[in-house]
Amino acid sequence: QECTGGVMIASSIIMGRGLAPVEAAIGGWRAFLMARESYGRLLKGFGNDAADAPTMPLPKPEGKLVFDGVSGGPPDLRKFTVSNLSFTLEAGQVLGITGPSAAGKSTLARLAVGVWRPGSGVVRLDGASISDWSREDVGPHIGYLPQDIELFPGTVAENIARFGEVDAEKVVDAARLAGAHQVILELPQGYDTPIGPAGVNLSGGQRQRIGLARAFYGRPPLIVLDEPTSNLDAEGEAAVRQAMEALRGQATVIVIAHRPAVLGGTDQLMVVLKGQIVNFGPTSEVMPQITRRVVARPEGLPQEAGGAAHV
C-alpha cells in the first residue's frame, strides 16, 4: 500500500522502454535469420571462386578439348540449354558445328572457352578442367569470336592485341590471317585508328574482321568462332576458310555456322538439335547427310534429325 497509481504507471512506462529493444529483436528475428542464411550462401559462392586463391601455373596447352557429360546454360537460368554433351577434339583438329536456331550452339561455344561454367560434367583443356585455369593464364591461349562482337574504345591495334602489350608483328599476322590487313590499312590512321564505343565508327564487316583478328592474335591453341561470316561478303568467307586451312594442325578450331558451305573445310562435323548432339563424325560422312536434309527441307534440318552421335 505504499505505491500510488502514478508510480505504478511510471514504472510500467519505464519497463516498456527498457524492454523495447528486446521486443524489436524478437520481432525482427525471422528477418535476421534469413539475412544470415543469405550471407552464408554468398560466402559459399565466393568461396567457390578461386580467383583469390593462388594456383600453380599450368604449361601452355596444346589444344585437346574434351566435353565429359556437360550440361549447362546461362548462369541466371536454372534450365539447361545443352545437356549431356560428350565428345573429344584432338589438338589441331577443325570442328564445324551446325544446327537450327536456339539449338544450343552458342552455349556450347561459351562452355568451351570457359565463359560459362557447366552445371554438370566437366570441360577439359589438355586434361585440366578449364574452370581450374586462372583467367589470366588461360586467356592468351584462347581465341573467341562471339556472335555479338564487342570492340572497346582504343586503337585498332589495341583491340586486336586485347589491350595487352601490342606486338606489331603478331597484330599484323592476325590481321592477315583474318583477311583484315588491307581493310585496316584503308582506315584513316591504319592500325592507329581510334575505335569508338562498341565500334560505332566501323561497318559490320569491319568489326567482324577486327574481331576475327583479335581471336587469331598470337595464334592461340584453341580458337572458337561463333558465326564468323555473318557480316562478311564472299571475299570475307573465303578468308575465313583460308584461315581454317592455315590453322589446321597448329590450333584446335571450332567454327559454328548455319551454312554448310562454311564448314566444308573442317575435319569433324557436329549437328546439334535441342541442346543435344544428334550427329558427329568426319565431315566427309556427315556433310552428305546434311545436304540431303537441306534439299528435302529448304529451312535446314528436319524436326527429328537422325543418326547417333559418335561420342
Place 293 in a pLDDT band, splitting at 50, 70 and 90: low
Give mean pLDDT, residues 104-113.
92
Higher local confidence (pLDDT), 134 or 182 = 182
3-state secondary structure of 88: strand
Q: 71 - beta bridge partners?
A: 120
Q: What's residue 307's pLDDT?
A: 39
d(CA 105, CA 119): 16
Give mean pLDDT, residues 165-169.
91
Residues 6 or more apart whose CB falls under 8 angstroms from that of 140 comprise: 164, 218, 220
Cα torsion 273, 63, 263, 257: sign:
positive
Q: In this model, does residue 294 exceed pLDDT 80? A: no
d(CA 156, CA 170): 13
Per-domain residue ranges of the chain: 5-48, 65-296
pLDDT tens profile 169-195: 999 999 999 989 999 999 989 999 998
Place 309 in a pLDDT band, splitting at 50, 70 and 90: very low
Q: In this model, does residue 48 exceed pLDDT 60? A: no
pLDDT tens profile 217-244: 999 999 999 988 888 878 888 888 888 8
- Residues 274 and 103: beta-carbon distance below 8 Å: yes
Lowest mean pLDDT among 3-7, 102-106, 143-147, 177-181: 3-7
Higher local confidence (pLDDT), 118 or 292 = 118
Lowest mean pLDDT among 45-49, 126-130, 203-207: 45-49
Distance of alpha carbon 134 from the chain centroid: 15
- The domain 65-296: what is its CATH number? 3.40.50.300
* CA-wise closest residue to 145 among 178, 192, 167: 178
- Residues 119 and 80: beta-carbon distance below 8 Å: yes
d(CA 258, CA 270): 12
Q: In this model, does residue 21 exceed pLDDT 60? A: yes
